[in-house]
Amino acid sequence: MHTILSALEWFVGLGSSVMIAIVLTVLGTAFGAGFTKSLRGGIITGVGLAGLFLVVDLILEALAPAINDMATRLDLTLRLVDVGWADAGLAWSWPGTAGVILGIIAVNILMVVLKLTKTLWTDVWSYWHGQVCGAFVWTLTGNLTYGIIAAVIYLVIGSLLSDITAKRYQEYNDMPGIGVPCGPTVLASVFAIPVVKVINKIPGLNRIDASPEAIKSRFGIFGEVAVLGAIIGSVIGILAGYDIPGILNVGMNVAVIMFILPRMVSIIAEGLIPITMKVSEFVRGRFKNRELHVGVDCAVLLGHPSVMASALIMFPLSIFIAAALPGNELLPIASLALIPFFCGAVVPFTRGNVIHTVIIVSLLLVPYLYAATNMSPIHTETYAQVGMFEEQIEEGAMFGSFDMGGDPVSWLINQGFRLFK
């Protein structure tokens, strides 16, 4: 046991980029993707991880102080640093990564054979939500096995919820055969189903709508993340009481953060492609004659014009909700990138009604913000555990995010594992 632990420690000590490059090379070769392709994939994912954490450095250096100054000046309790999708970096940096990949593939095949689910969990990239939930539990309990089990539980819940939502996605988005099991998407959809029923019973509200085209053509420029970031950053600068150069620089830095962060995430995803291809071809070949939903990334739901229109309204609204919610400590900036995905998950259920979508996503943010606030100590410590930002954390930086810090299912699973602490 001792040797295993010290081997593990040495491995984690290599740093996340080196570790994931080795893990993916070994896994990819084992799955038959070929050594060269797997090695290339592993290194690319390592590059993406390193790049992602560079962006977090910028968040800590340039954005966090401005938000602090603004919060102090306005007497707000928004003390968390929003690291947004940097959590996707955690997913591929913690020592349970390989265990979760193998675990969910095995459990999913078993569940499909036993007809417990119709969802094929083949999109390796989307495992990341479960990975982060597992990393939190690993930090909480100090037990790697618990972490891996928690991650697999999270992903299994995703596949079961996807069974409920898949048909509507397929009909509404005209995409036969798919399902979207990733956490934030299925959660938003499952949340939307009862709320839509209530909205449709409220007189007046059940008729109201706004045309997505009108919103898009009038405010479309704010859908460009760089422009959106520059505006949000400048407003933060103004509220923080900075001078003009200070305001413009916060604006520019937030534009950089919001533009570059998703690009880095896409580099991580690119490196996973050789493995994903093999996993999906392998699993697909096993179940040729069954009607199944193949799990794909939530991005496929973003095309409908109502999605961007709703997101445009939600961007500023999310910030107001966060500032107004008593006890909440997260001001979403980098996390705003998740908003279109929420809208994409809800639109099939509101049948494209922009106002209804905005109402549902606004309500959904409440549990996300409180969970993010509540999870913050574990969230922050998990970064320290994988050896990232130790210095800043020691100085008192506290992290938060929607995806995965604020994920309600991850929060519930972590509460459950508190019993094993």
Partner 1 sequence: MDNKLILVVCGAGINTSTMASEFIKDELAKRKIGNVDVKTILINDLQRYQGRENMVIVFMTKVDTDMGVPSFQGLNFLIGDRETKLEIFENILDALGEKDGSS
Residues contributing to the site for partner 1 (CB under 8 A): 123, 125-126, 173-175, 177-178, 220, 223-224, 262, 265-266, 269-270, 273, 276-277, 280-281, 284-285, 294, 296-305, 307-308, 340-341, 344
β 119-120/81-82 pair status: unpaired
When the beta carbons of 64 and 260 are compared against partner 1, the nearer one is 260
Q: Least distance from C-beta 17 to partner 1, angstroms?
A: 19
Contact 327, 295 (CB under 8 A): no
Q: Least distance from C-beta 65 to partner 1, angstroms?
A: 29
Taking the C-alpha atoms of residue 227 and residue 221, their distance in angstroms, rounded to an integer, is 7
Contact 187, 406 (CB under 8 A): no
Taking the C-alpha atoms of residue 352 and residue 89, their distance in angstroms, rounded to an integer, is 33
Judging by beta carbons within 10 Å of its beta carbon (0-12, 13-18, 19+), is residue 50 exposed, middle or buried?
Answer: middle
When the beta carbons of 57 and 171 are compared against partner 1, the nearer one is 171
Q: Least distance from C-beta 272 to partner 1, angstroms?
A: 8
Q: Least distance from C-beta 270 to partner 1, angstroms?
A: 5
Q: Can you spell out the DSSP letters for 373-404?
A: HHHHHHHHHHHHHTTSSHHHHHTT--EE-TTT
When the beta carbons of 67 and 124 are compared against partner 1, the nearer one is 124
Q: Least distance from C-beta 125 to partner 1, angstroms?
A: 5
DSSP state of 300: G
Contact 135, 94 (CB under 8 A): yes
Q: Beta-carbon neighbour count of residue 413 at 10 Å?
A: 22
When the beta carbons of 262 and 408 are compared against partner 1, the nearer one is 262
When the beta carbons of 223 and 316 are compared against partner 1, the nearer one is 223
Contact 48, 56 (CB under 8 A): no
Q: For residue 380, give both structure tokens.
A: 């922050």
When the beta carbons of 167 and 284 are compared against partner 1, the nearer one is 284
Q: Least distance from C-beta 176 to partner 1, angstroms?
A: 8
Q: For residue 23, give both structure tokens.
A: 């893990």
When the beta carbons of 150 and 337 are compared against partner 1, the nearer one is 337
11-38-383 Cα angle (round to 5): 35
Taking the C-alpha atoms of residue 101 and residue 184, their distance in angstroms, rounded to an integer, is 19
Q: Least distance from C-beta 371 to partner 1, angstroms?
A: 23
Q: Least distance from C-beta 206 to partner 1, angstroms?
A: 25
Q: Least distance from C-beta 345 to partner 1, angstroms?
A: 12
Q: Least distance from C-beta 395 to partner 1, angstroms?
A: 32
Taking the C-alpha atoms of residue 386 and residue 17, their distance in angstroms, rounded to an integer, is 11
When the beta carbons of 163 and 297 are compared against partner 1, the nearer one is 297
When the beta carbons of 95 and 340 are compared against partner 1, the nearer one is 340
| DSSP H or E run through 179 | strand 178-179
CA 5, distance to chain mean position in Å, is 30
Q: Least distance from C-beta 350 to partner 1, angstroms?
A: 16
- Among 200, 190, 135, which residue's Cα sits nearest to residue 157? 190
When the beta carbons of 284 and 421 are compared against partner 1, the nearer one is 284
When the beta carbons of 62 and 175 are compared against partner 1, the nearer one is 175
Taking the C-alpha atoms of residue 213 and residue 224, their distance in angstroms, rounded to an integer, is 16
Taking the C-alpha atoms of residue 333 and residue 320, their distance in angstroms, rounded to an integer, is 12
- Among 40, 36, 156, 26, which residue's Cα sits nearest to residue 98? 26
Q: Residue 228 region, left (φ>0) first, then alpha (ψ -120 to 50), else beta?
A: alpha
